[in-house]
Amino acid sequence: MKAHILVVDDERRITETWRRALAYEGYSVDVARTGPEALQKALERPPDLYILDLMLPGMTGFEICERLRHSGDQTPILMVTARDAVTDRVKGLDLGADDYLVKPAQLAELLARVRALLRRRNPEQNEVLRFTDLELDTGTRMAHRGQREIELSTTEYELLQLFLRRPRQVLTRDIIMERVWGYDFGGESNVLEVYVGYLRSKLESGGEPRLLHTVRGAGYVLREKSESDQKG
């Protein structure tokens, strides 16, 4: 069963984006918008991870973190804030936060930090995601096409992992952009097309058949080639 995460932030646009992103990855998610609400929800259903904003009405993230630690709660805390001063980061870590992320945060980085903190709490064996002759080791972040080893950049890894977790499912441009680059990424950018090109080049450099297909007017899909596929 996936972990339960409590997101504590008073900005509705951010909490809704993070809630959807985390739920899409299979996590159970609850949201609190104030310190007292967060402490009450933590009592009602203890989370496996807190994502805690620093600036909250009535009670700061520092105060919430301090109360949780004084109560003996050692649940991992990812502190997120628009304040990037070193003194704030040091204070948060000294009070017991496990990690610190500065807004605006890309979703890919947020999800990576969530996974890292949960692994520390509940160590698990690394996954190997597979589709036909394509494999991706989530521990080494290395891919293989048959016996051929493929080195990936961070973005290529996140993109390939997304497709391998949703094989044969058409993913729209908006979904991919949100999952890999974040909610605030410019919609007119061609960065997705560029990285799909990079990934295809690496996956097909040994002459292998295409697995990452364009679905005209819809998005992209990881599947074996069919007679109806158009080149692209």
Residue 215 near residue 124, CB atoms below 8 Å: no
Kindly give, in sequence order, each residue whose CB lies less than 8 Å from that of residue 57, ignoring residues fewer than 6 positions away.
Answer: 10, 33, 34
Q: What pLDDT is stored for residue 103 in this prediction? A: 80
Give the separation between CA 232 and CA 195, rounded to whole angstroms.
Answer: 14
The highest-confidence range among 36-40, 67-71, 143-147, 178-182, by mean pLDDT, is 143-147
Start-end of CATH 3.40.50.2300 domains in the chain: 4-121
Give the separation between CA 195 and CA 114, rounded to whole angstroms.
Answer: 24
CB-side neighbour CA atoms (13 Å) of 126 = 9
Nearest-CA neighbor of 21 among 196, 182, 167? 182
Q: What pLDDT is stored for residue 230 in this prediction? A: 46
Q: What is the mean pLDDT of residues 190-219?
A: 92
Mean pLDDT for the chain overall: 85
Q: What is the mean pLDDT of residues 135-159?
A: 90
Q: Which CATH fold topology does 4-121 show?
A: Rossmann fold (3.40.50)
Q: What pLDDT is stored for residue 227 in this prediction? A: 41
Q: What pLDDT is stored for residue 122 in this prediction? A: 62
Q: How many CB atoms lie within 10 A of CB 46?
A: 11
CATH class of 128-222: mainly alpha
Percent of the chain exceeding pLDDT 90 equals 35
Q: What pLDDT is stored for residue 188 in this prediction? A: 53
Q: What is the mean pLDDT of residues 138-149?
A: 91
Q: What pLDDT is stored for residue 210 in this prediction? A: 95
Q: What pLDDT is stored for residue 132 in this prediction? A: 95
Q: What is the mean pLDDT of residues 60-64?
A: 90
What tens digit of pLDDT does each residue of 19-38 get?
988 988 889 999 999 989 99
Start-end of CATH 1.10.10.10 domains in the chain: 128-222
